[in-house]
């Protein structure tokens, strides 16, 4: 199977690889896409947009990455001005792996811009409540330890965001006996963090004392350049959300007089940023996903749950006709994915009696919960 990726890619290389991965030898494209973060889907949608309205490519890019994508699209459209409409017309559907990619799909569907059906794999319970929580609980500290071999016990750690990923990260750091502070914008998640025993405060509150910052929000500008100027000497900063814009890396690099020292190279990127006042911080994985940049991501057992959902979604796309909407997999399949993984762990399910099933109003063979149940 061809692989269009390598560790330490530049942005240009990453997007060239994305283009190659969705370009068939005869110039056509895929009929089904398994996406993670929505980049392949975004390239096709932006390509179609640019074909319809060439001024789309002339707008001022809002980030370095956007500049790279717009340049790539300019190149592809010069070669074939109808390339992306042809590719989009051939796509029967996409199944999307992660929170950030699903946000993009839902936004496109709401704006009426979605070009093909999409299955939201992230919100299968056996994906987000496993990969996002337990996967990150495993791989966050793996990444930090491989990067710096630092003692986490006793350190003050700030976890920005207490969604699924944040919950896993906060628990991992708590298990290391770090002293964990959580930041949140959502009162429900903030209250959950309090009830789990964490201090809820703001990044600004934590700046004088915190040793480690982890962003998990899927949102931008969470750790700003101004924050990093005020951090403790040798504070560690990393991100486990999908994009590198949670930490203002570009603005950090642009601070006049800042010195950047590479501590470790692209196999496990660690950079020291020395500020003109003499203090320094360590940035892991250049602000990209620390569990992938500095470690090897989630272990295969939890990814097996995620990818079982991806396979079921791909079968659904291949075998059923869907309207152009964002779907989720039915709960029966979610329960099946969980059931398939139980044996490996030596777990034995209790089987309902008919009387019990009737009493709680479910079938003996499931599904056992209503769609709105939150787990």
Q: Which residues contact ligand NAD (rule: CB under 6 A)?
A: 98-100, 128, 131-132, 135-136, 160-166, 183-186, 189, 216-219, 222, 240-242, 289, 291, 298
For 321, the 3-state DSSP assignment is: coil
Residue number of the CB closest to ligand NAD reads: 163
Q: How far is the CB of 239 from ligand NAD (least distance, A)?
A: 8
Q: How far is the CB of 101 from ligand NAD (least distance, A)?
A: 7
Q: How far is the CB of 36 from ligand NAD (least distance, A)?
A: 8
Q: Comparing C-alpha atoms, which of 137, 102, 140, 93 is closest to residue 122?
A: 102
Nearer Cβ to ligand NAD (267/365): 267
Nearer Cβ to ligand NAD (28/202): 202
What the block records as the tokens of 107 is: 């936004």
* Alpha-carbon span 103 to 117, nearest angstrom: 15
| CB-based contact 73:18 (threshold 8 Å) | no
* Alpha-carbon span 314 to 106, nearest angstrom: 19
How many C-beta atoms lie closer than 10 Å to residue 219's C-beta?
16
Q: How far is the CB of 218 from ligand NAD (least distance, A)?
A: 3
Q: How far is the CB of 220 from ligand NAD (least distance, A)?
A: 9
Q: Give the helix/strand (H/E) hosting 329.
A: none
Query: Residue 176 phi/psi, 5° resolution?
Result: -85, 0
Nearer Cβ to ligand NAD (116/134): 134
Q: How far is the CB of 14 from ligand NAD (least distance, A)?
A: 16
What the block records as the tokens of 148 is: 């710096």
Nearer Cβ to ligand NAD (291/304): 291
Nearer Cβ to ligand NAD (153/202): 202
The sheet with strand 199-200 has its strands ordered as 199-200, 179-183, 156-160, 212-215, 235-239, 280-284, 270-274, 259-264
For 258, the 3-state DSSP assignment is: coil
Q: How far is the CB of 27 from ligand NAD (least distance, A)?
A: 32
> Is the preceding peptide bond at 124 cis, omega within 30 degrees of 0?
no
Q: How far is the CB of 129 from ligand NAD (least distance, A)?
A: 9
Q: Comparing C-alpha atoms, which of 228, 331, 217 is closest to residue 271?
A: 228
Q: Comparing C-alpha atoms, which of 219, 223, 178, 173 is closest to residue 202?
A: 223
Nearer Cβ to ligand NAD (48/189): 189
Nearer Cβ to ligand NAD (185/260): 185
Nearer Cβ to ligand NAD (87/308): 308
């Amino acid at each position: 199977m061809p692989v269009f990726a390598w560790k330490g890619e530049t942005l240009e290389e990453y997007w060239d690889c994305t283009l190659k991965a969705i370009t068939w030898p005869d110039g056509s494209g895929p009929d089904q896409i398994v996406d993670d973060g929505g980049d392949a889907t975004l390239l096709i949608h932006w390509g179609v947009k640019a074909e319809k309205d060439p001024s789309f490519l002339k707008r001022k890019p809002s980030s370095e990455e956007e500049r790279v994508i717009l340049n790539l699209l300019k190149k592809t459209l010069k070669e074939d001005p109808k390339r992306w409409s042809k590719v989009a017309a051939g796509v029967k559907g996409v199944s999307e792996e992660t929170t950030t990619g699903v946000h993009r799909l839902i936004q496109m569907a709401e704006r009426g811009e979605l070009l093909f059906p999409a299955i939201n794999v992230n919100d299968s319970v056996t994906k987000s409540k496993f990969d996002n929580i337990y996967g990150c609980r495993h791989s966050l500290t793996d990444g930090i330890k491989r990067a710096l071999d630092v003692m986490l016990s006793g350190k003050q750690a700030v976890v920005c965001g207490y969604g699924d990923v944040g919950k896993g990260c906060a628990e991992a750091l708590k298990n290391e006996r770090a002293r964990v502070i959580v930041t949140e914008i959502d009162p429900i998640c903030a209250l959950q963090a309090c009830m789990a025993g964490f201090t809820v405060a703001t990044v600004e509150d934590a700046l004088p004392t915190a040793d480690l910052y982890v962003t998990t929000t899927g949102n931008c500008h969470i750790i700003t350049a101004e924050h990093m100027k005020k951090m403790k000497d040798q504070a560690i900063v990393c991100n486990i959300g999908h994009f590198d814009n949670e930490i203002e890396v570009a603005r950090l690099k642009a601070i006049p007089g800042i010195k950047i020292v590479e501590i470790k190279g692209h196999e496990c990127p660690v950079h020291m940023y020395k500020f003109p006042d003499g203090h320094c911080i360590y940035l892991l994985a250049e602000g990209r996903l620390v569990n992938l940049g500095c470690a090897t991501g989630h272990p295969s057992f939890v990814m097996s749950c995620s990818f079982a959902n991806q396979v079921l979604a791909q079968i659904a796309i291949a075998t059923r006709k869907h309207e152009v909407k964002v779907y989720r997999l039915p709960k029966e399949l979610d329960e099946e994915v969980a059931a398939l993984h139980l044996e490996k762990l030596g777990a034995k399910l209790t089987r309902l009696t008919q009387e019990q099933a009737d009493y709680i109003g479910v079938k003996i063979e499931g599904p056992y919960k209503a769609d709105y149940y939150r787990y």
